[in-house]
Structure 1
Amino acid sequence: MSAIAKDSPTLAPRPSGGVTQSVKDSLVVAKRNLIRMTRIPEMILFGVIQPVMFVVLFTYVFGGSISIGGSTDPQRYKEFLMAGIFAQTVTFATAGAGAGIADDMHKGLIDRFRSLPMARGAVLTGRTLADLVQTTLTLVVLAGVALLVGWRTHENIGKVLCGFLLLLFLGYAFSWIGALIGLSVRTPEAATSGGLIWLFPLTFISNAFVPVNGMPTFLQHVAEWNPFSATVAGARELFGNTMPGVPKTVTGAWPMEHPIIASLLWSALIIVVFRTLAVRKYRSATA
Protein backbone atom coordinates (compact mmCIF):
# COMPACT_ATOMS: atom_id res chain seq x y z
CA MET A 1 0.00 0.00 0.00
CA SER A 2 2.78 2.39 0.91
CA ALA A 3 4.56 1.63 -2.38
CA ILE A 4 1.37 2.27 -4.35
CA ALA A 5 0.78 5.50 -2.48
CA LYS A 6 4.37 6.53 -3.08
CA ASP A 7 4.14 5.92 -6.82
CA SER A 8 0.72 7.53 -7.27
CA PRO A 9 0.87 11.03 -8.77
CA THR A 10 -0.42 13.85 -6.61
CA LEU A 11 -2.38 16.72 -8.04
CA ALA A 12 -0.91 20.12 -7.29
CA PRO A 13 -3.51 22.53 -5.95
CA ARG A 14 -4.41 25.33 -8.25
CA PRO A 15 -2.82 28.57 -7.01
CA SER A 16 -5.36 31.04 -5.68
CA GLY A 17 -3.14 34.11 -5.62
CA GLY A 18 -0.29 35.78 -7.40
CA VAL A 19 -0.24 38.38 -10.13
CA THR A 20 -0.15 35.87 -13.01
CA GLN A 21 -3.11 33.91 -11.68
CA SER A 22 -5.05 37.09 -11.03
CA VAL A 23 -4.46 38.32 -14.59
CA LYS A 24 -5.55 34.98 -16.07
CA ASP A 25 -8.70 34.84 -13.97
CA SER A 26 -9.54 38.45 -14.77
CA LEU A 27 -9.23 37.83 -18.51
CA VAL A 28 -11.48 34.77 -18.25
CA VAL A 29 -14.17 36.82 -16.50
CA ALA A 30 -13.72 39.67 -18.99
CA LYS A 31 -14.18 37.23 -21.89
CA ARG A 32 -17.36 35.89 -20.29
CA ASN A 33 -18.80 39.41 -20.03
CA LEU A 34 -17.79 40.34 -23.58
CA ILE A 35 -19.49 37.22 -24.95
CA ARG A 36 -22.59 38.15 -22.96
CA MET A 37 -22.55 41.64 -24.48
CA THR A 38 -22.42 40.27 -28.03
CA ARG A 39 -25.46 38.11 -27.27
CA ILE A 40 -27.39 41.14 -26.02
CA PRO A 41 -26.60 43.75 -28.72
CA GLU A 42 -29.18 46.20 -27.37
CA MET A 43 -26.81 46.80 -24.42
CA ILE A 44 -24.28 48.29 -26.83
CA LEU A 45 -26.92 49.98 -29.01
CA PHE A 46 -28.60 51.85 -26.16
CA GLY A 47 -25.20 52.74 -24.75
CA VAL A 48 -24.37 54.50 -28.03
CA ILE A 49 -27.70 56.24 -28.65
CA GLN A 50 -27.72 58.40 -25.52
CA PRO A 51 -24.31 60.10 -26.04
CA VAL A 52 -25.09 60.61 -29.73
CA MET A 53 -28.28 62.42 -28.68
CA PHE A 54 -26.23 64.60 -26.32
CA VAL A 55 -23.85 65.52 -29.15
CA VAL A 56 -26.64 66.47 -31.54
CA LEU A 57 -28.77 68.31 -28.97
CA PHE A 58 -25.96 70.30 -27.38
CA THR A 59 -24.45 71.16 -30.76
CA TYR A 60 -27.59 72.43 -32.45
CA VAL A 61 -29.64 73.64 -29.46
CA PHE A 62 -26.93 75.46 -27.48
CA GLY A 63 -24.25 75.87 -30.15
CA GLY A 64 -25.18 79.41 -31.18
CA SER A 65 -26.25 80.76 -27.81
CA ILE A 66 -23.29 80.09 -25.48
CA SER A 67 -20.39 82.52 -25.56
CA ILE A 68 -16.95 80.93 -25.67
CA GLY A 69 -14.18 83.46 -25.20
CA GLY A 70 -16.49 86.31 -26.16
CA SER A 71 -17.77 84.63 -29.33
CA THR A 72 -21.02 82.74 -30.03
CA ASP A 73 -19.60 81.11 -33.15
CA PRO A 74 -21.14 77.58 -33.24
CA GLN A 75 -17.86 76.08 -34.46
CA ARG A 76 -16.04 77.33 -31.36
CA TYR A 77 -18.65 75.76 -29.14
CA LYS A 78 -18.40 72.43 -30.98
CA GLU A 79 -14.67 72.26 -30.34
CA PHE A 80 -15.14 73.38 -26.73
CA LEU A 81 -17.98 70.92 -26.12
CA MET A 82 -16.77 67.59 -27.48
CA ALA A 83 -14.16 66.80 -24.84
CA GLY A 84 -16.90 67.32 -22.23
CA ILE A 85 -19.33 65.03 -24.05
CA PHE A 86 -16.65 62.36 -24.41
CA ALA A 87 -15.83 62.59 -20.69
CA GLN A 88 -19.51 62.46 -19.76
CA THR A 89 -19.93 59.34 -21.89
CA VAL A 90 -17.08 57.41 -20.27
CA THR A 91 -18.20 58.35 -16.76
CA PHE A 92 -21.88 57.57 -17.34
CA ALA A 93 -20.80 54.00 -18.10
CA THR A 94 -20.40 53.76 -14.30
CA ALA A 95 -24.14 53.16 -13.96
CA GLY A 96 -24.01 50.23 -16.37
CA ALA A 97 -21.08 48.68 -14.54
CA GLY A 98 -22.89 48.92 -11.23
CA ALA A 99 -26.12 47.52 -12.65
CA GLY A 100 -24.29 44.57 -14.23
CA ILE A 101 -22.58 43.59 -10.99
CA ALA A 102 -25.81 44.05 -9.02
CA ASP A 103 -27.55 41.77 -11.52
CA ASP A 104 -24.87 39.10 -11.11
CA MET A 105 -25.23 39.40 -7.33
CA HIS A 106 -29.02 39.11 -7.55
CA LYS A 107 -28.81 35.97 -9.70
CA GLY A 108 -26.25 34.33 -7.43
CA LEU A 109 -23.54 34.29 -10.08
CA ILE A 110 -21.08 36.13 -7.84
CA ASP A 111 -21.51 33.40 -5.20
CA ARG A 112 -20.69 30.76 -7.80
CA PHE A 113 -17.57 32.65 -8.83
CA ARG A 114 -16.58 32.90 -5.19
CA SER A 115 -16.77 29.12 -4.79
CA LEU A 116 -14.16 28.66 -7.52
CA PRO A 117 -10.40 28.63 -6.79
CA MET A 118 -9.74 32.00 -8.40
CA ALA A 119 -8.26 35.33 -7.35
CA ARG A 120 -10.75 37.31 -5.29
CA GLY A 121 -10.38 40.55 -7.23
CA ALA A 122 -10.57 38.84 -10.63
CA VAL A 123 -14.37 38.91 -10.86
CA LEU A 124 -14.52 42.66 -10.46
CA THR A 125 -11.41 43.34 -12.55
CA GLY A 126 -12.77 41.21 -15.39
CA ARG A 127 -16.09 43.03 -15.26
CA THR A 128 -14.47 46.47 -15.34
CA LEU A 129 -12.19 45.45 -18.23
CA ALA A 130 -15.19 44.26 -20.25
CA ASP A 131 -16.96 47.54 -19.53
CA LEU A 132 -13.84 49.39 -20.70
CA VAL A 133 -14.01 47.58 -24.04
CA GLN A 134 -17.67 48.55 -24.45
CA THR A 135 -16.88 52.15 -23.51
CA THR A 136 -14.08 52.22 -26.09
CA LEU A 137 -16.47 51.09 -28.84
CA THR A 138 -18.98 53.75 -27.79
CA LEU A 139 -16.27 56.41 -27.81
CA VAL A 140 -15.18 55.42 -31.34
CA VAL A 141 -18.74 55.77 -32.64
CA LEU A 142 -19.20 59.04 -30.78
CA ALA A 143 -15.99 60.49 -32.23
CA GLY A 144 -17.29 59.66 -35.72
CA VAL A 145 -20.57 61.45 -35.00
CA ALA A 146 -18.65 64.44 -33.61
CA LEU A 147 -16.65 64.67 -36.82
CA LEU A 148 -19.87 64.57 -38.84
CA VAL A 149 -21.36 67.53 -36.94
CA GLY A 150 -18.19 69.60 -37.42
CA TRP A 151 -15.81 68.84 -34.55
CA ARG A 152 -12.15 69.12 -35.50
CA THR A 153 -8.83 68.48 -33.76
CA HIS A 154 -5.71 70.60 -34.25
CA GLU A 155 -2.94 68.35 -32.98
CA ASN A 156 -1.12 65.33 -34.42
CA ILE A 157 -2.67 61.89 -34.28
CA GLY A 158 -0.44 60.81 -31.39
CA LYS A 159 -1.71 63.57 -29.10
CA VAL A 160 -5.31 62.97 -30.17
CA LEU A 161 -5.01 59.27 -29.28
CA CYS A 162 -3.48 60.21 -25.93
CA GLY A 163 -6.50 62.44 -25.35
CA PHE A 164 -8.83 59.49 -25.84
CA LEU A 165 -6.65 57.28 -23.60
CA LEU A 166 -6.87 59.94 -20.90
CA LEU A 167 -10.66 59.82 -21.16
CA LEU A 168 -10.75 56.03 -21.05
CA PHE A 169 -8.49 56.00 -18.00
CA LEU A 170 -11.02 58.19 -16.19
CA GLY A 171 -13.85 55.93 -17.37
CA TYR A 172 -12.03 52.85 -16.06
CA ALA A 173 -11.44 54.57 -12.72
CA PHE A 174 -15.11 55.47 -12.41
CA SER A 175 -16.14 51.90 -13.26
CA TRP A 176 -14.66 50.89 -9.89
CA ILE A 177 -17.02 53.33 -8.21
CA GLY A 178 -19.82 51.60 -10.13
CA ALA A 179 -18.54 48.22 -8.95
CA LEU A 180 -18.71 49.34 -5.32
CA ILE A 181 -22.23 50.69 -5.81
CA GLY A 182 -23.33 47.46 -7.50
CA LEU A 183 -22.08 45.42 -4.55
CA SER A 184 -23.75 47.73 -2.04
CA VAL A 185 -27.34 47.63 -3.32
CA ARG A 186 -29.87 44.84 -3.74
CA THR A 187 -31.20 45.34 -7.26
CA PRO A 188 -29.86 46.43 -10.68
CA GLU A 189 -32.44 49.25 -10.73
CA ALA A 190 -31.05 50.67 -7.50
CA ALA A 191 -27.52 50.39 -8.89
CA THR A 192 -28.51 52.35 -12.00
CA SER A 193 -30.12 55.11 -9.92
CA GLY A 194 -27.24 55.15 -7.47
CA GLY A 195 -24.75 55.31 -10.32
CA LEU A 196 -26.37 58.34 -11.95
CA ILE A 197 -27.61 60.49 -9.07
CA TRP A 198 -24.13 61.76 -8.18
CA LEU A 199 -22.84 61.89 -11.76
CA PHE A 200 -25.13 64.70 -12.88
CA PRO A 201 -23.79 67.31 -10.42
CA LEU A 202 -20.24 66.03 -10.97
CA THR A 203 -20.43 66.50 -14.74
CA PHE A 204 -22.43 69.73 -14.82
CA ILE A 205 -20.48 71.55 -12.07
CA SER A 206 -17.42 71.43 -14.28
CA ASN A 207 -15.84 72.99 -17.33
CA ALA A 208 -17.45 70.46 -19.67
CA PHE A 209 -20.35 72.43 -21.14
CA VAL A 210 -19.76 76.08 -20.20
CA PRO A 211 -16.69 78.10 -19.16
CA VAL A 212 -16.12 78.15 -15.41
CA ASN A 213 -15.69 81.94 -15.27
CA GLY A 214 -19.46 82.40 -15.62
CA MET A 215 -20.23 80.43 -12.47
CA PRO A 216 -20.64 81.81 -8.92
CA THR A 217 -17.31 82.07 -7.10
CA PHE A 218 -17.84 79.11 -4.77
CA LEU A 219 -18.81 76.87 -7.71
CA GLN A 220 -15.71 77.98 -9.61
CA HIS A 221 -13.55 76.44 -6.89
CA VAL A 222 -15.61 73.23 -6.88
CA ALA A 223 -15.50 72.95 -10.67
CA GLU A 224 -11.76 73.52 -10.97
CA TRP A 225 -10.90 70.91 -8.33
CA ASN A 226 -13.32 68.42 -9.91
CA PRO A 227 -11.49 65.34 -11.32
CA PHE A 228 -13.90 65.43 -14.24
CA SER A 229 -12.83 69.00 -15.10
CA ALA A 230 -9.15 68.04 -15.08
CA THR A 231 -9.76 65.27 -17.61
CA VAL A 232 -11.88 67.52 -19.84
CA ALA A 233 -9.22 70.23 -19.79
CA GLY A 234 -6.47 67.68 -20.45
CA ALA A 235 -8.37 66.18 -23.39
CA ARG A 236 -8.98 69.65 -24.86
CA GLU A 237 -5.27 70.38 -24.62
CA LEU A 238 -4.35 67.12 -26.36
CA PHE A 239 -7.02 67.63 -29.04
CA GLY A 240 -5.91 71.22 -29.66
CA ASN A 241 -9.36 72.47 -28.66
CA THR A 242 -8.32 75.09 -26.11
CA MET A 243 -10.13 78.36 -26.85
CA PRO A 244 -8.53 81.82 -27.07
CA GLY A 245 -10.08 84.11 -24.48
CA VAL A 246 -11.01 81.24 -22.16
CA PRO A 247 -8.59 81.23 -19.19
CA LYS A 248 -7.11 77.92 -18.06
CA THR A 249 -8.12 78.75 -14.48
CA VAL A 250 -10.00 81.56 -12.76
CA THR A 251 -9.18 80.50 -9.19
CA GLY A 252 -5.53 79.52 -9.62
CA ALA A 253 -6.34 75.83 -9.07
CA TRP A 254 -3.34 73.56 -9.66
CA PRO A 255 -5.33 70.90 -11.58
CA MET A 256 -6.34 73.45 -14.20
CA GLU A 257 -2.74 74.65 -14.59
CA HIS A 258 -1.55 71.06 -15.15
CA PRO A 259 -4.69 69.23 -16.34
CA ILE A 260 -3.05 66.17 -17.93
CA ILE A 261 -0.94 65.33 -14.89
CA ALA A 262 -3.87 66.12 -12.57
CA SER A 263 -6.20 63.86 -14.55
CA LEU A 264 -3.75 60.95 -14.38
CA LEU A 265 -3.28 61.45 -10.64
CA TRP A 266 -7.02 61.73 -9.95
CA SER A 267 -7.80 58.59 -11.99
CA ALA A 268 -5.02 56.56 -10.38
CA LEU A 269 -6.15 57.65 -6.90
CA ILE A 270 -9.77 56.71 -7.65
CA ILE A 271 -8.71 53.26 -8.88
CA VAL A 272 -6.56 52.57 -5.81
CA VAL A 273 -9.21 53.70 -3.33
CA PHE A 274 -12.34 52.25 -4.91
CA ARG A 275 -10.77 49.00 -6.11
CA THR A 276 -9.65 48.36 -2.54
CA LEU A 277 -13.11 49.15 -1.17
CA ALA A 278 -14.89 47.14 -3.88
CA VAL A 279 -12.77 44.00 -3.39
CA ARG A 280 -13.29 44.24 0.38
CA LYS A 281 -17.03 44.64 -0.15
CA TYR A 282 -17.05 41.70 -2.57
CA ARG A 283 -15.56 39.42 0.07
CA SER A 284 -18.04 40.41 2.76
CA ALA A 285 -21.10 40.70 0.49
CA THR A 286 -20.76 37.17 -0.82
CA ALA A 287 -19.70 35.52 2.42
Structure 2
Amino acid sequence: MIWALADGWTMTRRNLTHWTRRPGQVIVGLLFPVLLVLMFGFLLGGGMAVPGGGDYREYLLPGMFALTMVFGIETTFAAVAQDADRGVTDRFRSIPMARSAVVAGRNAADMLNATAGLLVMLLCGLAVGWRWHEGLASAALAVALLLWLRFAMLWVGIWLGLVSRNPELLTAVQILVWPVGFLSSAVTFPATMPAWLGAVAEWNPLSATANAARELFGNPAAGGDGWAAQHPVLLAVLWPAVLVAVFLPLAVARWQALDR
Protein backbone atom coordinates (compact mmCIF):
# COMPACT_ATOMS: atom_id res chain seq x y z
CA MET A 1 0.00 0.00 0.00
CA ILE A 2 2.84 2.39 0.87
CA TRP A 3 4.50 1.61 -2.48
CA ALA A 4 1.24 2.22 -4.33
CA LEU A 5 0.64 5.54 -2.53
CA ALA A 6 4.20 6.71 -3.19
CA ASP A 7 3.99 5.83 -6.89
CA GLY A 8 0.55 7.40 -7.14
CA TRP A 9 1.88 10.65 -5.65
CA THR A 10 4.79 10.57 -8.11
CA MET A 11 2.34 10.34 -11.02
CA THR A 12 0.23 13.12 -9.54
CA ARG A 13 3.28 15.38 -9.37
CA ARG A 14 4.09 14.48 -12.97
CA ASN A 15 0.66 15.67 -14.11
CA LEU A 16 0.84 18.83 -12.01
CA THR A 17 4.31 19.59 -13.42
CA HIS A 18 2.90 19.39 -16.95
CA TRP A 19 0.36 22.07 -16.02
CA THR A 20 3.02 24.37 -14.54
CA ARG A 21 4.94 24.17 -17.82
CA ARG A 22 1.81 24.96 -19.85
CA PRO A 23 0.09 27.62 -17.74
CA GLY A 24 -1.74 29.10 -20.72
CA GLN A 25 -3.68 25.90 -21.27
CA VAL A 26 -4.63 25.75 -17.59
CA ILE A 27 -5.70 29.41 -17.50
CA VAL A 28 -7.87 29.00 -20.58
CA GLY A 29 -9.47 25.91 -19.06
CA LEU A 30 -10.28 27.82 -15.86
CA LEU A 31 -11.58 30.94 -17.58
CA PHE A 32 -13.74 29.33 -20.26
CA PRO A 33 -16.58 28.52 -17.80
CA VAL A 34 -16.40 32.14 -16.63
CA LEU A 35 -16.99 33.22 -20.23
CA LEU A 36 -20.05 30.96 -20.37
CA VAL A 37 -21.40 32.54 -17.18
CA LEU A 38 -21.00 36.03 -18.62
CA MET A 39 -22.57 35.01 -21.92
CA PHE A 40 -25.61 33.24 -20.47
CA GLY A 41 -25.99 35.52 -17.47
CA PHE A 42 -25.71 38.89 -19.20
CA LEU A 43 -26.19 38.38 -22.95
CA LEU A 44 -29.06 35.87 -22.80
CA GLY A 45 -30.23 36.07 -19.21
CA GLY A 46 -32.30 39.22 -19.68
CA GLY A 47 -34.92 37.23 -21.56
CA MET A 48 -35.12 34.35 -19.07
CA ALA A 49 -37.93 34.15 -16.50
CA VAL A 50 -37.45 31.64 -13.68
CA PRO A 51 -40.56 29.51 -13.00
CA GLY A 52 -41.91 30.55 -9.61
CA GLY A 53 -39.86 33.75 -9.66
CA GLY A 54 -36.30 34.57 -8.72
CA ASP A 55 -33.14 35.94 -10.24
CA TYR A 56 -31.94 34.04 -13.32
CA ARG A 57 -28.26 34.46 -12.49
CA GLU A 58 -28.83 32.79 -9.12
CA TYR A 59 -30.56 29.97 -10.98
CA LEU A 60 -27.78 29.81 -13.58
CA LEU A 61 -24.69 29.60 -11.39
CA PRO A 62 -25.33 26.19 -9.75
CA GLY A 63 -26.06 24.83 -13.22
CA MET A 64 -22.78 26.24 -14.51
CA PHE A 65 -20.92 24.71 -11.55
CA ALA A 66 -22.32 21.29 -12.51
CA LEU A 67 -21.70 21.87 -16.22
CA THR A 68 -18.04 22.63 -15.48
CA MET A 69 -17.73 19.31 -13.66
CA VAL A 70 -19.14 17.45 -16.68
CA PHE A 71 -16.97 19.29 -19.20
CA GLY A 72 -13.93 18.13 -17.20
CA ILE A 73 -14.30 14.78 -18.96
CA GLU A 74 -12.62 16.37 -21.97
CA THR A 75 -9.46 17.18 -19.98
CA THR A 76 -9.27 13.64 -18.62
CA PHE A 77 -9.86 12.05 -22.01
CA ALA A 78 -7.24 14.19 -23.76
CA ALA A 79 -4.54 13.46 -21.16
CA VAL A 80 -5.17 9.70 -21.03
CA ALA A 81 -5.48 9.31 -24.81
CA GLN A 82 -2.34 11.36 -25.42
CA ASP A 83 -0.25 9.24 -23.04
CA ALA A 84 -1.58 6.06 -24.63
CA ASP A 85 -0.99 7.35 -28.17
CA ARG A 86 2.60 8.40 -27.48
CA GLY A 87 3.53 5.13 -25.81
CA VAL A 88 3.96 6.76 -22.40
CA THR A 89 1.37 4.45 -20.86
CA ASP A 90 3.14 1.36 -22.23
CA ARG A 91 6.43 2.68 -20.85
CA PHE A 92 4.95 3.11 -17.39
CA ARG A 93 3.61 -0.44 -17.51
CA SER A 94 7.08 -1.78 -18.32
CA ILE A 95 8.88 -0.34 -15.29
CA PRO A 96 8.69 -1.51 -11.65
CA MET A 97 5.89 0.65 -10.28
CA ALA A 98 2.48 0.00 -8.77
CA ARG A 99 0.00 -0.85 -11.53
CA SER A 100 -2.55 1.50 -9.96
CA ALA A 101 -0.21 4.50 -9.92
CA VAL A 102 -0.97 5.92 -13.38
CA VAL A 103 -4.73 5.86 -12.89
CA ALA A 104 -4.47 7.04 -9.28
CA GLY A 105 -2.22 9.92 -10.31
CA ARG A 106 -4.64 10.93 -13.06
CA ASN A 107 -7.49 10.84 -10.56
CA ALA A 108 -5.72 12.96 -7.97
CA ALA A 109 -4.45 15.55 -10.46
CA ASP A 110 -7.80 15.95 -12.20
CA MET A 111 -9.67 16.25 -8.92
CA LEU A 112 -7.26 18.98 -7.81
CA ASN A 113 -7.84 20.73 -11.12
CA ALA A 114 -11.62 20.36 -10.70
CA THR A 115 -11.43 21.82 -7.20
CA ALA A 116 -9.47 24.81 -8.48
CA GLY A 117 -11.93 25.27 -11.34
CA LEU A 118 -14.90 25.11 -8.98
CA LEU A 119 -13.27 27.68 -6.70
CA VAL A 120 -12.83 30.03 -9.67
CA MET A 121 -16.49 29.54 -10.59
CA LEU A 122 -17.63 30.23 -7.02
CA LEU A 123 -15.63 33.46 -6.97
CA CYS A 124 -17.04 34.40 -10.37
CA GLY A 125 -20.54 33.76 -9.07
CA LEU A 126 -19.98 35.97 -6.05
CA ALA A 127 -18.64 38.69 -8.34
CA VAL A 128 -21.79 38.70 -10.52
CA GLY A 129 -24.21 38.71 -7.60
CA TRP A 130 -24.83 35.04 -6.85
CA ARG A 131 -25.13 34.09 -3.19
CA TRP A 132 -25.94 31.00 -1.13
CA HIS A 133 -28.67 31.36 1.45
CA GLU A 134 -28.82 28.08 3.39
CA GLY A 135 -25.75 28.20 5.62
CA LEU A 136 -22.19 26.97 5.31
CA ALA A 137 -22.97 23.28 5.97
CA SER A 138 -25.49 23.09 3.13
CA ALA A 139 -23.10 24.96 0.83
CA ALA A 140 -20.30 22.51 1.69
CA LEU A 141 -22.60 19.59 0.89
CA ALA A 142 -23.47 21.18 -2.46
CA VAL A 143 -19.76 21.52 -3.28
CA ALA A 144 -19.20 17.89 -2.28
CA LEU A 145 -21.97 16.73 -4.63
CA LEU A 146 -20.47 18.77 -7.46
CA LEU A 147 -17.06 17.16 -6.93
CA TRP A 148 -18.74 13.75 -6.64
CA LEU A 149 -20.14 14.28 -10.14
CA ARG A 150 -16.67 15.23 -11.39
CA PHE A 151 -15.23 12.06 -9.85
CA ALA A 152 -17.78 9.99 -11.78
CA MET A 153 -17.06 11.85 -15.03
CA LEU A 154 -13.36 11.26 -14.46
CA TRP A 155 -13.80 7.49 -14.77
CA VAL A 156 -15.83 7.93 -17.92
CA GLY A 157 -12.99 10.02 -19.36
CA ILE A 158 -10.32 7.49 -18.36
CA TRP A 159 -12.25 4.64 -19.97
CA LEU A 160 -12.85 6.58 -23.19
CA GLY A 161 -9.18 7.60 -23.35
CA LEU A 162 -7.95 4.03 -22.88
CA VAL A 163 -10.42 2.68 -25.44
CA SER A 164 -9.68 5.23 -28.14
CA ARG A 165 -5.94 5.83 -27.49
CA ASN A 166 -6.28 8.70 -29.94
CA PRO A 167 -6.30 12.32 -28.69
CA GLU A 168 -7.60 13.48 -32.07
CA LEU A 169 -10.98 11.99 -31.12
CA LEU A 170 -11.46 14.76 -28.56
CA THR A 171 -13.82 16.48 -31.00
CA ALA A 172 -15.99 13.35 -31.03
CA VAL A 173 -16.11 13.42 -27.21
CA GLN A 174 -17.11 17.08 -27.30
CA ILE A 175 -19.88 16.28 -29.78
CA LEU A 176 -21.14 13.72 -27.26
CA VAL A 177 -20.69 15.79 -24.09
CA TRP A 178 -22.04 19.17 -25.15
CA PRO A 179 -25.56 18.02 -26.15
CA VAL A 180 -25.79 15.93 -22.98
CA GLY A 181 -24.62 18.94 -20.96
CA PHE A 182 -27.14 21.36 -22.39
CA LEU A 183 -30.01 18.83 -22.48
CA SER A 184 -30.47 19.46 -18.78
CA SER A 185 -31.61 22.06 -16.30
CA ALA A 186 -28.15 23.64 -16.20
CA VAL A 187 -29.01 26.82 -18.11
CA THR A 188 -32.73 26.50 -18.91
CA PHE A 189 -35.91 24.92 -17.60
CA PRO A 190 -37.18 21.43 -18.56
CA ALA A 191 -40.76 22.70 -18.18
CA THR A 192 -40.27 24.88 -21.27
CA MET A 193 -39.26 21.88 -23.42
CA PRO A 194 -41.57 19.41 -25.19
CA ALA A 195 -42.87 16.91 -22.64
CA TRP A 196 -40.70 13.97 -23.73
CA LEU A 197 -37.58 16.13 -23.98
CA GLY A 198 -38.27 17.73 -20.62
CA ALA A 199 -38.51 14.27 -19.05
CA VAL A 200 -35.11 13.35 -20.50
CA ALA A 201 -33.64 16.60 -19.17
CA GLU A 202 -35.08 16.04 -15.69
CA TRP A 203 -33.45 12.60 -15.45
CA ASN A 204 -30.09 13.79 -16.76
CA PRO A 205 -27.42 13.21 -14.06
CA LEU A 206 -26.25 16.78 -14.64
CA SER A 207 -29.75 18.08 -13.86
CA ALA A 208 -29.81 16.08 -10.62
CA THR A 209 -26.57 17.66 -9.39
CA ALA A 210 -27.50 21.15 -10.61
CA ASN A 211 -30.93 20.98 -8.94
CA ALA A 212 -29.46 19.55 -5.75
CA ALA A 213 -26.93 22.39 -5.63
CA ARG A 214 -29.73 24.93 -6.12
CA GLU A 215 -31.69 23.40 -3.26
CA LEU A 216 -28.69 23.30 -0.92
CA PHE A 217 -27.52 26.81 -1.86
CA GLY A 218 -31.08 28.15 -1.51
CA ASN A 219 -31.21 29.36 -5.10
CA PRO A 220 -34.29 29.33 -7.39
CA ALA A 221 -35.38 25.82 -8.35
CA ALA A 222 -35.92 24.48 -11.86
CA GLY A 223 -39.51 23.57 -11.09
CA GLY A 224 -41.34 20.45 -12.16
CA ASP A 225 -43.69 17.94 -10.54
CA GLY A 226 -41.86 14.74 -11.52
CA TRP A 227 -40.10 12.43 -9.08
CA ALA A 228 -36.67 13.48 -10.34
CA ALA A 229 -37.45 17.16 -9.84
CA GLN A 230 -38.70 16.51 -6.31
CA HIS A 231 -35.72 14.40 -5.14
CA PRO A 232 -32.63 16.07 -6.62
CA VAL A 233 -30.27 15.49 -3.68
CA LEU A 234 -30.93 11.75 -3.64
CA LEU A 235 -30.39 11.53 -7.40
CA ALA A 236 -27.23 13.65 -7.13
CA VAL A 237 -25.83 10.93 -4.88
CA LEU A 238 -27.13 7.95 -6.83
CA TRP A 239 -26.39 8.96 -10.44
CA PRO A 240 -22.62 9.43 -9.96
CA ALA A 241 -22.54 6.23 -7.89
CA VAL A 242 -24.06 4.35 -10.84
CA LEU A 243 -21.57 5.90 -13.26
CA VAL A 244 -18.64 4.98 -11.00
CA ALA A 245 -19.98 1.43 -10.57
CA VAL A 246 -20.14 1.03 -14.36
CA PHE A 247 -17.09 2.88 -15.65
CA LEU A 248 -14.53 2.24 -12.90
CA PRO A 249 -14.53 -1.53 -13.55
CA LEU A 250 -14.55 -0.90 -17.30
CA ALA A 251 -11.54 1.42 -16.98
CA VAL A 252 -9.66 -1.05 -14.77
CA ALA A 253 -10.43 -3.92 -17.15
CA ARG A 254 -9.27 -1.89 -20.14
CA TRP A 255 -6.10 -0.89 -18.30
CA GLN A 256 -5.31 -4.51 -17.48
CA ALA A 257 -5.98 -5.53 -21.09
CA LEU A 258 -3.47 -3.07 -22.59
CA ASP A 259 -0.64 -5.60 -22.49
CA ARG A 260 -2.61 -8.32 -24.26
TM-score class normalised by the smaller sequence: over 0.9
What amino acid is aligned across from residue 142 of structure 2 in structure 1? Answer: G
What amino acid is aligned across from residue 279 of structure 1 in structure 2? Answer: V
Identity percentage of aligned residues = 38
Structure 1 stretches of 5 or more lacking a match? 1-18
What amino acid is aligned across from residue 73 of structure 2 in structure 1? Answer: T
Residue 213 of structure 2 is aligned to residue 235 of structure 1: yes
Once the two structures are TM-superposed, the CA of residue 22 in structure 1 deviates from its matched residue by 3.8
User: Which residue of 1 is the match for residue 95 of structure 2?
Assistant: 116
User: Which residue of 2 is the match for residue 51 of structure 1?
Assistant: 33
| TM-score (norm. length: structure 1) | 0.85
Deviates more, 1:270-279 or 1:94-103: 270-279
User: Which residue of 2 is the match for residue 5 of structure 1?
Assistant: none
Indicate if the aligned counterparts of 1:181 and 1:194 stay in contact, CA closer than 8 A. Answer: no
Provide the aligned length of Structure 1 versus Structure 2: 260
Q: How far apart, CA to CA, are the structure 1 residues paired with 2:238 and 2:6? A: 27
| TM-score (norm. length: structure 2) | 0.93
Q: How far apart, CA to CA, are the structure 2 residues paired with 1:70 and 1:231? A: 20
Once the two structures are TM-superposed, the CA of residue 286 in structure 1 deviates from its matched residue by 4.1
Q: Compare CA radii of gyration and give the structure with the larger one.
A: 1
Q: How far apart, CA to CA, are the structure 1 residues paired with 2:4 and 2:38? A: 42
- 1:1-12 superposed matches below 5 A: none
What amino acid is aligned across from residue 85 of structure 1 in structure 2? Answer: M
Query: What are the Cα deviations for residues 86-124 of structure 1, in whole angstroms up to 9, with x where unaligned?
Result: 111111110111000111112211111111333433312
What amino acid is aligned across from residue 208 of structure 2 in structure 1? Answer: A
Q: How far apart, CA to CA, are the structure 2 residues paired with 1:209 and 1:66? A: 10
- 1:13-162 superposed matches below 5 A: 21-69=3-51, 71=53, 76-162=55-141
User: Which residue of 2 is the match for residue 15 of structure 1?
Assistant: none
User: Which residue of 2 is the match for residue 9 of structure 1?
Assistant: none
Q: How far apart, CA to CA, are the structure 2 residues paired with 1:197 and 1:217? A: 24
Once the two structures are TM-superposed, the CA of residue 82 in structure 1 deviates from its matched residue by 0.4
Indicate if the aligned counterparts of 1:206 and 1:226 stay in contact, CA closer than 8 A. Answer: yes
User: Which residue of 2 is the match for residue 226 of structure 1?
Assistant: 204
What amino acid is aligned across from residue 120 of structure 1 in structure 2? Answer: R
Q: How far apart, CA to CA, are the structure 2 residues paired with 1:261 and 1:26? A: 32
Indicate if the aligned counterparts of 1:132 and 1:172 stay in contact, CA closer than 8 A. Answer: yes
Once the two structures are TM-superposed, the CA of residue 20 in structure 1 deviates from its matched residue by 5.1
Q: How far apart, CA to CA, are the structure 1 residues paired with 2:240 and 2:4? A: 22
Query: What are the Cα deviations for residues 58-93 of structure 1, in whole angstroms up to 9, with x where unaligned?
Result: 11112110111265x7xx100100011111111111
Q: How far apart, CA to CA, are the structure 2 residues paired with 1:219 and 1:21? A: 49
Query: What are the Cα deviations for residues 208-230 of structure 1, in whole angstroms up to 9, with x where unaligned?
Result: 11111111111122112111111
Residues 239 and 70 of structure 1, relative CA distance in 2, 3 Å threshold? closer
Q: How far apart, CA to CA, are the structure 2 residues paired with 1:186 and 1:163? A: 34
Structure 2 stretches of 5 or more lacking a match? none
Q: CA RMSD in A?
A: 1.8
Residue 246 of structure 2 is aligned to residue 273 of structure 1: yes
Residue 175 of structure 2 is aligned to residue 202 of structure 1: no
Q: Which has the higher helix share?
A: 2
Once the two structures are TM-superposed, the CA of residue 39 in structure 1 deviates from its matched residue by 1.9
